[in-house]
Amino acid sequence: MEHKHIYDEEGNQLCCTAQEGKIFKDAGAKKLLNNDSCCSTENNKSETHSDDDGHDHNDGEKNTFQMFLPAIVSLVILLIGIVLDNFFPQEWFKGWVRIVWYAVAYLPVGLPVLKEAYESIAKGDVFSEFFLMGIATIGAFAIGEYPEGVAVMLFYSVGEVFQTLAVSRAKNNIKALLDQRPDEVTILEGNQSKTIPAKQAKIGDIVQLKSGEKLALDGELVSESASFNTAALTGESKPDTKNKGESVLAGMINLQTIAQVKVTTAYEDSKLSKILELVQNATAQKAPTELFIRKFARIYTPIVVGLAILICLLPYLFVENYVFRDWLYRALVFLVISCPCALVISIPLGYFGGIGAASKNGILFKGSNFLDIIANIKNVVMDKTGTMTEGVFKVQEVTLKSEFNKDEILKMVNALESKSTHPVATAIHQYVGEIDHSIQLENTEEIAGHGLKASINGKDLLVGNFKLMDKFNIKYDLDPKQIVYTIIAIAYDGKFAGYITIADSIKADAQLSIDKLKALGVKTTMLSGDKSTVVQFVADQLGITNAFGDLLPEDKVNKVKEIKSHNETVAFVGDGVNDAPVVALSDVGIAMGGLGSDATIETADVVIQDDKPSKIPMAINIGKQTRKIVWQNIFLAFAVKAIVLVLGAGGLATMWEAVFADVGVALLAILNAVRIQRMKF
């Protein structure tokens, strides 16, 4: 099929370079390169099957020894040739015998590169890295520099193997972290258990999970309780105890007795499947630095070839004692140095490392571009409930008028709140206890933004905020603004009966996260629809700079617009669903509660899986470290190449210096790129 490049709206080429595509293919990581790339199997019909489609073919992958074998053979033959040339000269090792000897040394490492060069040219990509190395080494043979021609190709091939291993490691780190779905499950049919492929399990099936076994599908716990290791989803190995009726997710490991789980989601729709797909697709969203380097490599390489031709031929017009062989050698050295390997491999590898390091800590980036953006964030705007607080409300105080029977009123309130799914209703139910089903509710109505209304024994019961009391002209003798906690007002038979105060506890690591954000020079703002006094109280405890309560979604949008009007970058942290307009407006949308909502995973740019606010500064720090490593590699590659290019053009550098400028710098850049996976954040 004819090769077609893919470009973004701004004209940036999204295709991989020829060498990048080969390395990622050899590493079994084509999916990590770019699912929509012109180098993908979709556009290369000669590849009928991908080794990176979610399962492994161990028998089809080369081991490390097999990858190095051609280089080892080539090195042995080359060393023998150098010894016969310089240390133990032999009469027979001359003429065509010597040429054939070095040609044999060249073939194991040179033939695959020449083949790739031919295939790249056939696809329309003439100025590939393979083409540069091919003409440089063939040129070296043409002028009789056989050992140097073999050595350049040998070290180039060794460098390519190291690059392949580095990419393979990055790919395996991500897959080992997330692709932990068992292939089979044990389901119960009557009193009999049978093992079936996980993909065949249906919604409603009861899965039996032994101690130490991993859950393959999302479901609901049928057993009374069970303890799970959630490391595959959150990065935390701390046991999480679930009770009957609670959700359990694919990837969780049962830690104790046999547990039974009712399947609620199809295999391909499980949270773990979505997370795995998210991370594998993350690298399709390219960072501007990556796009620039790819575009640069496409322009830079043909320019370098043109300069090499000029270095070879132009001196004929100006140099008195022009020797073609000498200037051709300089041109070939120039070509070897110019190969942009260090840039086109180490930079995407740096971003893969950043995405892998974040995933290891329970933070999912939807693209390497968000690693770049989050590194520049100046403002973090956060929701309160479920972000900085637990989102689990508890009744603090019940204050009722003396003329009302406390137990009767609470039972009626509990019965009415059972019609709501709001966290407040859960808090009241936990405080009061079982619902009294003898209470007959009539004309039950939920009034948006106010509360609930129903008729009991012919009398109206109102439960909600004080706006509800005002709406029905209920007189009360207190100032709600003087009470810090969230207030649930109650009225019965047209009279104010009293109120219940409810509070949400601050997360254990919330204070640490605010302190770390301040240390990074990031400003903090809290926006919430909750009562202003509650929001200000939480903000004061945590040391958050600005806090605003009683906000509607459009109010939050206006507050974020106000911050952005000062030309400052904003990250919004919330649930990613109710706050969708603010997430869309912010530079980076960060979702807390990746385990709670599919919509959260789909709408946010970054997902924090374990709800810990301390992961917010960690995500920013990972972005900063990734950017730092990428730019270190860019400066290293350009600086060394620029120096050796000048020396090569002036005849002061040999092929050996050229090899260091190409392969040596590439290896140094790769070692620097993989460093991020070992960092502690």
Number of domains in the chain: 3
Closest CA to 13 of 131, 125, 114: 125
- Give the range among 237-241, 247-251, 621-625, 655-659 with minimum mean pLDDT: 237-241
Tens digit of each residue's pLDDT (9 = 90 or more) over 88-133: 888 899 889 999 999 999 999 999 989 988 888 888 877 777 887 8
Annotated catalytic residue 470: no
Q: How far apart are alpha carbons 660 and 644 in whole angstroms?
A: 9
How does the average pLDDT of the chain come out, rounded? Answer: 80
Is 391 or 669 the better-scoring residue by pLDDT? 669
Q: Which amino acid appears at position 250 of this protein?
A: A
- Which stretches of 485-531 are DSSP H helices? 510-519
Q: How far apart are alpha carbons 239 and 252 in whole angstroms?
A: 10
Residue 285, SS3? coil
Q: Please say which residue of 215, 248, 280 terminates a domain.
A: 280
pLDDT value at residue 524: 95
Q: How far apart are alpha carbons 624 and 636 in whole angstroms?
A: 18
What is the residue-wise DSSP string for 339-381?
Answer: --HHHHHHHHHHHHHHHHHHHHTTEEES-HHHHHHHHT--EEE
Q: How far apart are alpha carbons 163 and 156 in whole angstroms?
A: 11
524: tokens are 């903090």
If asked whether residues 164 and 253 sit together in one domain, one would say no
| Catalytic position from the list 125, 218, 383, 530 | 383
Residue 295 has pLDDT above 90, yes or no: no
Band (678; pLDDT cuts 50, 70, 90) = confident
Those residues whose C-beta lies under 8 Å from the C-beta of residue 96, and which sit 6 or more positions away, are none
pLDDT value at residue 109: 93
Is 567 or 411 the better-scoring residue by pLDDT? 411
If asked whether residues 166 and 113 sit together in one domain, one would say yes
pLDDT value at residue 50: 38
Answer whether residue 352 is part of any domain.
no
Tens digit of each residue's pLDDT (9 = 90 or more) over 46-90: 333 333 333 343 433 567 888 889 999 999 999 999 999 888 888
pLDDT value at residue 500: 93
Burial (CB count within 10 angstroms: exposed 0-12, middle 13-18, buried 19+), residue 59: exposed
Band (375; pLDDT cuts 50, 70, 90) = very high
**pLDDT average, residue stretch 499-522:** 92
Q: How far apart are alpha carbons 293 and 288 in whole angstroms?
A: 9
Residue 407 has pLDDT above 80, yes or no: yes
If asked whether residues 172 and 217 sit together in one domain, one would say no
- What percentage of the chain reaches a pLDDT higher than 90? 25
Q: How far apart are alpha carbons 28 and 168 in whole angstroms?
A: 7
If asked whether residues 107 and 204 sit together in one domain, one would say no
Q: Taking the chain, what is the end-to-end CA distance rounded to the nearest angstrom?
A: 46
DSSP H or E segment with residue 503: strand 495-506
Residue 594 has pLDDT above 60, yes or no: no
Residue 490 forms beta bridges with which residues?
463, 498
If asked whether residues 190 and 237 sit together in one domain, one would say yes
- Token pair 């701390």: residue: 238
Answer whether residue 541 is part of any domain.
no
Instruction: Using the Cα atoms of residue 400, residue 402, residue 407 and residue 408 in order, give the sign of their dihedral.
Output: negative
If asked whether residues 215 and 149 sit together in one domain, one would say no
Tens digit of each residue's pLDDT (9 = 90 or more) over 145-175: 888 888 888 888 887 787 777 667 666 655 6
Phi–psi pair at 48, nearest 5 degrees: -90, -10
Q: Please say which residue of 139, 163, 178 terminates a domain.
A: 178
pLDDT value at residue 80: 94
Residue 617 has pLDDT above 60, yes or no: yes
If asked whether residues 164 and 208 sit together in one domain, one would say no
pLDDT value at residue 583: 75
Residue 330 has pLDDT above 70, yes or no: yes
**DSSP summary character for residue 677:** G
Burial (CB count within 10 angstroms: exposed 0-12, middle 13-18, buried 19+), residue 183: exposed
pLDDT value at residue 275: 62
**pLDDT average, residue stretch 525-536:** 86
**pLDDT average, residue stretch 259-287:** 71
pLDDT value at residue 578: 57
Those residues whose C-beta lies under 8 Å from the C-beta of residue 140, and which sit 6 or more positions away, are 146, 148, 149, 152, 329, 332, 655
Q: Domain with 266 in it: what CATH number?
A: 2.70.150.10
Residue 522 forms beta bridges with which residues?
none
Residue 526 has pLDDT above 70, yes or no: yes
Answer whether residue 135 is part of any domain.
yes
For the chain, what's the residue count? Answer: 681
| In contact, 195 and 215? CB cutoff 8 Å | no
Best-predicted range by mean pLDDT among 53-57, 88-92, 291-295, 498-502? 498-502
If asked whether residues 166 and 74 sit together in one domain, one would say yes
Is 275 or 380 the better-scoring residue by pLDDT? 380
What is the residue-wise DSSP string for 156-209?
Answer: HHHHHHHHHHHHHHHHHHHHHHH----SEEEEEETTEEEEEEGGG--TTPEEEE
The alpha carbons of the chain give a radius of gyration, in whole angstroms, of 33
Band (381; pLDDT cuts 50, 70, 90) = very high
If asked whether residues 238 and 216 sit together in one domain, one would say yes
Instruction: Give Dmax (Cα) for the chain.
Output: 120
Is 261 or 212 the better-scoring residue by pLDDT? 261
Phi–psi pair at 247, nearest 5 degrees: -75, 140
If asked whether residues 167 and 212 sit together in one domain, one would say no
Best-predicted range by mean pLDDT among 103-107, 349-353, 556-560? 103-107
pLDDT value at residue 3: 40
Domain hosting 193: range is 184-280
Q: Please say which residue of 178, 198, 217 terminates a domain.
A: 178
Residue 18 has pLDDT above 80, yes or no: no
Torsion from C-alpha of 277, 278, 279, 282, nearest 10 degrees: 120
Tens digit of each residue's pLDDT (9 = 90 or more) over 38-48: 444 334 433 33
pLDDT value at residue 139: 83
| In contact, 235 and 250? CB cutoff 8 Å | no
Q: How far apart are alpha carbons 175 and 276 in whole angstroms?
A: 8
If asked whether residues 251 and 214 sit together in one domain, one would say yes
Ramachandran sector of residue 279 (left: φ over 0; alpha: ψ -120 to 50; beta: rest): alpha
Answer whether residue 511 is part of any domain.
no
Answer whether residue 356 is part of any domain.
no
Answer whether residue 530 is part of any domain.
no
- Give the range among 73-87, 210-224, 273-287, 547-561 with minimum mean pLDDT: 273-287
Tens digit of each residue's pLDDT (9 = 90 or more) over 444-477: 998 877 889 999 988 999 999 898 999 999 999 8
**pLDDT average, residue stretch 588-601:** 66
Residue 208 forms beta bridges with which residues?
260
pLDDT value at residue 235: 53
Q: Which amino acid appears at position 437 of this protein?
A: H
Answer whether residue 459 is part of any domain.
yes
pLDDT value at residue 592: 79
Q: How far apart are alpha carbons 515 and 518 in whole angstroms?
A: 5
CA distances from residue 3 to 15, 125, 410 in whole angstroms, order as listed: 10, 8, 72
pLDDT value at residue 521: 93
- Which stretches of 36-86 are DSSP H helices? 64-86
pLDDT value at residue 58: 40
Answer whether residue 567 is part of any domain.
no
Those residues whose C-beta lies under 8 Å from the C-beta of residue 502, and which sit 6 or more positions away, are 393, 394, 395, 396, 424, 427, 428, 485, 486, 487, 488
Closest CA to 361 of 28, 32, 676: 676
- Other Cβ atoms less than 10 A from the Cβ of 289: the count is 22
Q: Domain with 447 in it: what CATH number?
A: 3.40.1110.10
**DSSP summary character for residue 424:** H
Residue 523 has pLDDT above 80, yes or no: yes
Best-predicted range by mean pLDDT among 16-25, 293-302, 582-591? 582-591
Per-residue burial over 384-411, b if 16 or more Cβ lie within 10 Å, else e, is: bbbbbbbbebebeebebeeebeeeebbb
pLDDT value at residue 210: 87
If asked whether residues 165 and 118 sit together in one domain, one would say yes
Closest CA to 68 of 144, 134, 164, 141: 164
Residue 502 has pLDDT above 50, yes or no: yes
Q: Pairing between strand 546-548 and 523-527?
A: parallel
Band (342; pLDDT cuts 50, 70, 90) = low
pLDDT value at residue 652: 81
